[in-house]
Structure 1
Amino acid sequence: MHPGLARIRRDLRTACGDAGVPAGDRARLVLAATVLAEPAVEAGQEILVETTTAERRLAVTLRLAAPVGQARRNSLPLLPDAGDDATLTWHLATGPAPHPAPADDDAATREEMLALIARADALTQEQRELKHELAETNSGVLAMYVELEERDEQLRRAHAIIFRELEDALRPPPPAVPGLELAVQYSPTDPDSPTGGDLYDWFVLPDGHLHVTLVDAVGHGVTSTRHALTVTHAIRTLALEGHPFADLVARAADTLAAIEPGLMATVLLARIDPVTGNMALANGSHPPPMLVTTTGDTRLLHSPVIGRGVGFPDPGTPLLVHHTLGPGDTVVLYTDGLVESRRDLDEGQARLLAHAAAHARHPIAALPAELVTRMHDVVLHADDTVVLALRRASAKTDGTDPS
């Protein structure tokens, strides 16, 4: 062995022995230093070894003449903790008493090899015991490794079922309303999660009119879902109690102010008489609905006075929008995720009008999904999206005499 390499190994062993470093840790350090120093020593390059002990830690620094690449550093039996490319530092825990190594290099090497073998045997035994404990805890643990992919698929299917059930609970199917055709499409930001702040509610009032509530709660995740549910339930309760349609948003906001002070949500309400087609809209900070006639004419049903949603300053709908749907006419209610996928609201609404005109005679059941597909051809801003389509049945559909 080269005298310089023997000196480095001796210095390291002496420092480890004085600090009480266990033989196994010393062995890994000496082997790592040998791997790094041997080529440099053979090339006649100077190598410095520095050791310091503080706070029950031994710091060993090896200064080489040439940098050590990351791949070579990663292959060492004891990884350095810090240092630049040519300076490597290890920190080892010290023991309660000195643990000197044999003075003879061969004897010290044998001791270190035995320590490494004992360490490997101990790890092997611990692994056996761990496997035995796992086998006792779960007799199918070995089979689980073989069937992992199948179990993952089963888990994905189970999650999908749970999500569908949760989605069905959160988003009611269209009610049966003679004279009206209804359809809905919900597209979440995350396909694996049914939760979000875009919710809707629709039901038939005692007088036969259809009531529709569309809510977009500010925020994300379960909290926004809870807020949206709170708003839809409050409005349903107020509507069934007979409060005036024009007052529902303001009353819901007043009711919820003390219960959910941090809640903010845009709200769009629709009330339709299926016999006459008369429709009233109450908009609280929500994107305006879209009218699609049988001839393909489209327009947004803006309110002359902008209302404010729940949690906004001065909530309420001071002025309603009234329109009478003709046979075959469709009104589309949607959340902003439909028209803001390209981060431009005006551009999105213009595209929506164009797509709706081209699909004016599309079957109502497929219309919401078709609009979402067309509008989300480019998505720069992903957001939950709800699209509700309500069409007054034509004379041919509802069974009346067209003459």
Structure 2
Amino acid sequence: MRPDLARIRRRLRTACAEAGVPADDRGRLVLAVTLLAEPALTAGETVDVATAASEPRLAVTVRLDHAVAQGSRDALPLLPERGDGPTLTWHLTGGRPAAPADLGPDLGPDLDDDRATREEMLALVARVDSLAHEQRDLKHELAETNSGVLAMYVELEQRDEQLRRAHAAIFRELEDALRPRPPVVPGLELAVHYSPTDQDSPTGGDLYDWFVLPGGQVHVTLVDAVGHGVTSTRHALTVTHAIRTLALEGHPFRDLIAHASHTLATIEPDLMATVLLARLDPATGRTRFANGGHPEPVLVTAAEPARLLPAPVPGRGVGFPDPGSRGLAEVVLAAGDTVLLYTDGLVESRKDIDEGQARLLALADADRRRPVAGLPRELVTRMHDVVLHADDTVVLALRRTFAR
């Protein structure tokens, strides 16, 4: 080893020992300066080294005859201050200074350098072992943390599923409260099926109401409120209650939709809904329909193909301009005849209401002998085999069983 390089290394080690710099940091400093100084000295350049101790830090400055770029500085085992000039400076943290006896005897440049190098190598190996041990501990802690996080995630998923089930149960209870059971009427069979757009959502704007009037006639109201969510549910419920009140007060059947619209205009100015009303006399089978912008009901008889029952003049729903039914559709149901009332979600699942109504008539023909109790659900299932447009759907079935 060149004598001048040995003196530089000796000077660095002495300064580090006097400042209490750990052997591993000292070894990285000595190696970094060696990597800079050795080629410079070989090339005949001057290498100046200066040290300045100020507890608890040691500053080491090396000045070369050429500039050292930042990329070369970053490749050194101990990083100096940033820069690209010929001067490099390190700041090391010291500790307890070594006693003079700890520095060891001067055995000559080469033997002393070898001893110090071995000491520094052992310190660096010990530091690597310590870092490896810390890394293993960190991995173990991380694994335990991940295990805990995973357990917490599973628990949260379980709680979320419990909440979803609880919400679904609440929504079903809400539907039961909003959707009355069919009245028991001798000579009639009635059934209903409701299919929501989202199984986990509360009921939407498709609602119905049916009840028996004091004279024995069965009144049915089917409403499809514009919009979605709780607001549309409230609007639909408001319409069904208004029509029930007006019907029980004895207002003419033909005027119920228009009267309800005018009554609610100041109470719910934003409310808009299509409405279909049916009034059926179980004794005679006479059935009338008032339609305010709603899809036409379907009549299924034993002798003729299923057909739509359009109003003589199209009407408009509640909240629309010029609301009400212009004329009534009327039929007389014989024993075994069935009437289907539905919202547009049944026939618009493929985005074509004409195609949907054609399929509905075909299915109604094929299922004319199916028991009423399962007919609405079966129709919804088969009509929704392809769903390009999802919407709430209600289907009501009314069948006259015998003439009284």
Residue 370 of structure 2 corresponds to residue 362 of structure 1 = yes
What is the TM-score of this pair, normalised by structure 2? 0.64
1:258-315 Cα offsets, whole Å, 9 max, x none, are 1111111000000000111100100000000000112462000011200111011110
Instruction: Write the distance in 2 (CA, Å) between the matches of 1:276 and 1:255.
Output: 32
Whether 1:323 and 2:336 are equivalent positions in the alignment is no
Structure 2 CA distance for partners of 1:192 and 1:242, relative to 1, 3 Å = same
Match runs of 1:1-400 below 5 Å: 104-107=90-93, 147-295=155-303, 297-394=305-402
Quote the offset at 1:328 in angstroms.
Answer: 0.5
Equivalent pairs, count: 281
CA contact (8 A) 1:308 1:316 kept: yes
Gap regions ≥5 residues in structure 1 = 7-35, 43-48, 51-102, 109-123, 125-141
Residues 120-157 of structure 1: per-residue CA shift (max 9 Å, x gap): xxxx9xxxxxxxxxxxxxxxxx9977754543443333
1:2/1:350 CA distance change after superposition, 3 Å: farther
Map Cα deviations across residues 34-77 of structure 1 (whole Å, 9 max, x no partner).
xx9789969xxxxxx99xxxxxxxxxxxxxxxxxxxxxxxxxxx
Q: Percent identity?
A: 72
Query: Is the alpha carbon distance of 1:289 and 1:143 closer, same or farther for their aligned partners in structure 2, counting shifts above 3 Å?
Result: same
Contact 1:296 1:358 in 2 (8 A): no
In 2, Cα distance between the equivalents of 1:158 and 1:343? Answer: 33
State which structure, 1 or 2, has the greater radius of gyration over its C-alpha atoms. Answer: 2
> In structure 2, how many angstroms separate the alpha carbons of the residues matched to 1:287 and 1:275?
27
Match of 1:53 in 2: none
Q: Cα offset for 1:199? A: 0.4
Cα separation, 2, equivalents of 1:39 and 1:252: 86
The CA deviation string for residues 58-98 of structure 1, in whole angstroms up to 9 with x for no partner, is: xxxxxxxxxxxxxxxxxxxxxxxxxxxxxxxxxxxxxxxxx
Q: Are the structure 2 counterparts of residues 39 and 107 from structure 1 closer, same or farther at C-alpha, using a change threshold of 3 Å?
A: closer
Q: Give the whole-Å Cα distance in 1 for the aligned partners of 2:298 and 2:215.
A: 26
* RMSD across aligned positions (CA): 3.4
C-alpha distance after superposition, 1:97-120 (max 9, x if no partner): xxxxxx625549xxxxxxxxxxxx
The Cα shift of 1:394 comes to 3.6
Distance 1:37 1:187 in 2: 69
* Cα distance in structure 2, aligned partners of 1:334 and 1:2: 86
Structure 1 residue 193: deviation in Å? 1.4
Q: Which amino acid aligns with 1:198?
A: D
- C-alpha distance in structure 2 between counterparts of 1:37 and 1:368, whole Å: 78
Deviations 1:200-253 (A, max 9, x none): 000000000000000000001011111101100000000000000001001000
Q: How far apart are the structure 2 equivalents of 1:368 and 1:38? A: 81
Q: 1:104 to 1:171 in 2, by over 3 A?
A: same
Structure 2 unaligned spans of 5+: 1-30, 37-69, 77-81, 84-88, 95-137, 139-149
1:202 match: secondary structure: strand
Given residue 168 of structure 2, which amino acid in structure 1 is its aligned partner?
A
For 1:146 and 1:345, the matched residues in 2 are separated by 45
CA distance in 2, matches of 1:161, 1:145: 24
CA distance in 2, matches of 1:107, 1:333: 87
Aligned-partner SS, 1:308? coil
Counterpart Cα distance in 2 of 1:39 and 1:251: 89
SS at match of 1:336: coil
Q: What is the distance in 2 between the residues matched to 1:302 and 1:146?
A: 55
The residue type paired with residue 367 of structure 1 is L
Q: Secondary structure, in 3 states, of the residue corresponding to 2:243?
A: helix
Separation (CA, whole Å) in 1 of partners of 2:261 and 2:72: 78
Which is worse superposed, 246-255 or 144-153? 144-153
When residues 106 and 236 of structure 1 are mapped into structure 2, their CA distance, relative to the original with a 3 A threshold, is: same
Alpha-carbon displacement from aligned partner over 1:340-362 (angstroms, at most 9, x marks no partner): 00000110000000011000000
| Residues 326 and 392, structure 1, Cα contact 8 Å, conserved in 2 | yes
Kindly state the Cα deviation for residue 177 of structure 1 after the two structures are TM-superposed.
1.0
Residue by residue, what CA displacement relative to the aligned partner does 1:360-397 show, whole Å, maximum 9, x if unpaired? 000100000000011100000000000000000146xx
SS in 1 for 2:169: helix
